[in-house]
Amino acid sequence: MLSVLDKPDIAANLPNNPRRGRPKKSSVDPLDTREALLRAGMLILTESGFTRSGIDPILKSIGVPKGSFYHYFSSKEAFGLAVLERYRRYFEAKLDGFLLDEAFSPLERLQRFVQDAQDGIVRHEFKRGCLVGNLEQESSLLPEAFSEQLQMTYQSWQDRVAVCLLASQKHGEITLQTSIEETAQAFWMGWEGAVHRARLVKSTQPLSLFMTFFIQAIQSKTH
């Protein structure tokens, strides 16, 4: 068998004395590293929350040195806020994908979103909840900036559900006893509570019970 040195076209391109020194700089896009940190943060914070989560496990999960972390984020608080923003945008896109899908009636869109979320909780063996719900439970221990961001996130999600409920009302699917905005707020308050209970008992029963109760409360009696 020929060695590399027996092949003149390859051997001619090999250096006679390989130089030692610093390894070649990685060509990884810095934006990719920041995105990887945010994704890892979302995964861990949805399981453990913010106060119980350390930076080291997040860095270890994606092989990023601590020095690189502080290149992108000045502190754990800054990182947590960035993760929360990233999660909000991710969930907004998810909601839009279901609630704006005109292949289904507005009420069916909401039910399909709930079913998908329920399937996800089961798929992750009840270990992952909602990052926003987790942070809300920790809100008394978090800096004020988190409270403002959480309220903004909930408002964004409530607005999307309100649009869906309004369309459902126009379709004659539901009859509301309270305002659209209050009903959308009630949905998220009940849903987050059901998610926490589902994780506690490791069962989807609280989620199904909440959704059955919510639909019965708003569905038109003539539909």
CATH number at residue 137: 1.10.357.10
103 falls within a domain: yes
Q: Is the pLDDT of residue 88 over 50?
A: yes
**pLDDT score, position 106:** 97
First to last CA, the chain: 80
The beta strands (E) that lie in 71-175 are given as none
127 falls within a domain: yes
Q: Is the pLDDT of residue 5 over 70?
A: no
CA angle 171, 177, 179 (to 5 degrees): 80
Count helices and strands (H / E) in the chain: 10, 0
- Specify the range with the lowest mean pLDDT, choosing from 5-19, 96-110, 190-204: 5-19
42 falls within a domain: no
- Specify the range with the lowest mean pLDDT, choosing from 43-57, 72-86, 156-170: 43-57
Distance between CA 12 and CA 57 in Å, rounded?
A: 46
9 falls within a domain: no
60 falls within a domain: no
| pTM of the entire predicted model | 0.80
Identify the band that residue 47 occupies on the pLDDT scale cut at 50, 70 and 90.
confident
Distance between CA 2 and CA 13 in Å, rounded?
A: 17
Phi, psi angles (nearest 5°) of residue 174: -130, 155
Look at the chain and report how many structural domains it folds into.
1
Identify the band that residue 10 occupies on the pLDDT scale cut at 50, 70 and 90.
very low
Q: State which residues form the domain around 195.
A: 84-218
Q: 19 by DSSP, 3-state: which?
A: coil
Which of 133, 145, 148 has the alpha carbon at shortest distance from 189?
133
187 falls within a domain: yes
| Contact between residue 64 and residue 26 where contact means Cβ atoms under 8 Å apart | no
Distance between CA 49 and CA 54 in Å, rounded?
A: 10
Distance between CA 50 and CA 142 in Å, rounded?
A: 9
| Contact between residue 79 and residue 55 where contact means Cβ atoms under 8 Å apart | yes
Maximum CA extent, the chain: 87
Tell me how long the chain is. Answer: 223
Q: Can you tell me the mean pLDDT for 48-56? A: 86
2 falls within a domain: no
| Contact between residue 131 and residue 45 where contact means Cβ atoms under 8 Å apart | yes
Identify the band that residue 222 occupies on the pLDDT scale cut at 50, 70 and 90.
low
